[in-house]
Chains A and B, each alone.
Chain A
Amino acid sequence: MINFERVSKIYQKNWVALDDVTFEIQKGEFVFLTGPTGAGKSTVLKLIYKEEEPTKGTIKVMNYHLRHLKKNEIPQLRRKIGVIFQDFKLLHDRTVEENIAFALEVTDTPPRDIKKRVLDVLTYLRLSHKKFKFPYQLSGGEQQKVSIARALVRDPYILLADEPTGNLDIKSSQEILDILLDINYQGTTILMASHNLLLVRKAKKRIISLLNGRIVQE
């Protein structure tokens, strides 16, 4: 599903974010990406959805050879990948329902399907009663759930989570992890970057540890 072959990423001023990284993630796997800040976790995620280009090496995601992917083909790749972040990235002038629908509206989903799909995902995440609320009226955990809903509503094959529990308390973090595990159980491949080792160990899933841009433990 995701294949990194001797991938390096060097930013400006010779800052090495990733150094000769090779790994493979199978379809339906749940993998944690751990390591301290600056280890290269976010870079790995950004390379997968082609926000960044590798300096060296090859990356294959699903059937896409990312090096050969043209600029106008990137949207097609991203429509199959969901991404969630530590800071949720919600639109504060739109309700929960509008935030989720937005992801469908801008990707050519027929209007008659949008309402139903939004409602389905809200029901699944037990957020239906909050659909007319604005993000600032929600707790951090609820906001992250909305962000998951927005990623999930497009039925992605892969879900990338960049420190999704970074801003949450223990209880909310556990709740988010449980949701992600359930999503994975239903077949979605998940790669989650986190430095919350306690949470990661509890989940008993495969772990890739990064340090200074290199894989130190698998």
Chain B
Amino acid sequence: MALGIGVREGIRTIVRNSSLFILSLLVVAISFFLLSLFALLTINLYSLVKGLEGKIEIIAFLDEHADVEMLHSNILRITGVSEVIYVSSETALKELQEEMGETKEVLRVFEDNPLPASLRIKLAPEFRNSKGLKELSEKITLLKGVKETIYGGELVDQLKGVTKIITYFDAGLLMIITLAVIFVTFQTIKLTIFARSTEIEIMKLVGAEDSLISIPFIFQGMIQGLLGGFIAFVLLLITAKVGSAFFSIPYFPKLFLLVGNLFFGMIFGIIGSAIALRRFLK
């Protein structure tokens, strides 16, 4: 009963102060849109780094007379090595030809197969960084039968660095946007309380409970947050759709972003109105 009246009064308030409501709704929506956009970027960077990490390997090129089996088992015994795959010179040529496609004819200038046999060495996750790569590759180079080793770990290190910076940036942004959304809701509810001062006065005068007096404002803050979060999600979908023409978004956790936007929108909205109520509904 009280809830029904409170909600009805909340809707009445929103309709009557619609321009104020829409203005703060937009601010909330844009704030959450920015936050979601950066969250999406970070999630994708993380998944990119993780994907690249899985591909990190050391390639050890072998001498013609190398004892492959012995090397294979020796390398596998080194701490940090998770898998060793032998690639014969024929297989390497075949792979190269496949990669080159139509331009493979170029390879005809070689009379013999120029590619050496090699071992592809995959690493345990904790060694998938430039330090681990360097250490292991130095060890492997010392082994008899290994001509040379190559690896490419610096890119991953750089990506990890960038991801870290963006994560810090996200955390900062989250803090600013949390405060902004709570502040905007607080201001809106404050103005709404002033606009409804006669109603509040009458409600108090006739003996309405404080909880009933608060419901319309909490309701408004909650709706503002929920709607703002939802609009932000729709904006994100549109941006992703438009953006997909220019770049790919491999990882787009729609449900996570939708639920996150709605949940935090609602919570921040309620907090904002609760603060305003505490301060102005004496």
Contact = CB atoms under 8 A, between A and B. Distances in A.
Interface of A: 49, 71-72, 74-80, 83, 89, 91, 93, 102-103, 105-108, 111, 150, 154
Interface size class of B (residues with CB under 8 A): 10 to 19
Contacts of A105: 5
B128 to A, nearest CB: 62
B202 interface: yes
Given A105-B5, A106-B203, A108-B1, A91 B208 contact: no
A89 B210 CA distance: 20
B4 to A, nearest CB: 9
Contact of B205 (A49, A80, A93): A49
Interface of B: 1-2, 5, 16, 198-199, 201-210, 212-213
Given A78-B205, A78-B206, A106 B198 contact: no
A89 B207 contact: no
B198 A107 contact: no
A80 B198 CA distance: 20
B202 A78 contact: no
A79 B199 CA distance: 16
A91 B198 contact: yes
Residue from A91, A107, A111, A154 whose CB has the most chain B CB atoms within 10 Å:
A107
A93 B16 contact: yes
A106 B205 contact: no
Residue from B2, B16, B208, B212 whose CB has the most chain A CB atoms within 10 Å:
B208
Given A93-B16, A105-B5, A76 B207 contact: yes
- Nearest 8 CB-CB pairings of A with B: A79-B207, A78-B207, A106-B208, A75-B207, A103-B206, A106-B203, A105-B5, A75-B209
